[in-house]
Amino acid sequence: MPMLLLSAERFRGFSLLQSAVALAVMALGMLFLVPRLDDLIDEAYRAHVKAVGSAIQVSAHTFHKVWLTDRNSRLLIDMKMTESGWPLGRKEDVDASSEVTGAERCTGLWTSLLDIEVPTLTSGDSLSADFRVEEVEGRCRYYHQLSGNRYYIEYDAANGRVSWNIR
């Protein structure tokens, strides 16, 4: 079978028209994607807050169920609980008082319920942490810092209610 040799002169590059059309298509793509980028980032922040809130909720309810069924469980040995059986945090993570008060107490509760190092939490003004904690009306509130503190998770130890504001 004979080999077909192609002329190198025929394939020198793109024409000016082809380049202009390619640039126009890319510009149209950017026109539609850039405004949507803020929405996508905001949706990611909401998903992060909801995921962490769900993890806190599952953990709090797990400790509560164990407390209801077996108060002598090994799972509860180091955990401080309210009188109604909701977690306050591990004894080494929280102070000796029986009520959730102050940012330090809420930080200990966070550490006890999540038992992981990510997401990060701060009680101060550190912007490097994912969440910032405050005690608000006796409840622990965890603000999502990347969202400008618009979104937050709240835990009420009195009734075990975990809610998140992602609106």
pLDDT, tens digit, for every residue of 40-71?
899 999 999 999 999 999 999 999 999 999 98
pLDDT at 98 over 80: no
Helix pair angle (102-114, 16-69), 10° resolution = 100
Question: In Å, how far are 15, 27, 32, 33, 145 from 21, measured between CA atoms?
Answer: 10, 10, 17, 18, 42
Categorize the per-residue pLDDT at 100 as very low, low, confident or very high, splitting at 50, 70 and 90. very low
pTM: 0.76
Cβ–Cβ under 8 Å, residues 63 and 75: yes
Is 121's pLDDT higher than 60? yes
The predicted model gives 142-161 an average pLDDT of: 93
Q: How far apart, in Å, are the Cα atoms of 119 and each of 21, 52, 116, 156?
A: 45, 8, 8, 20
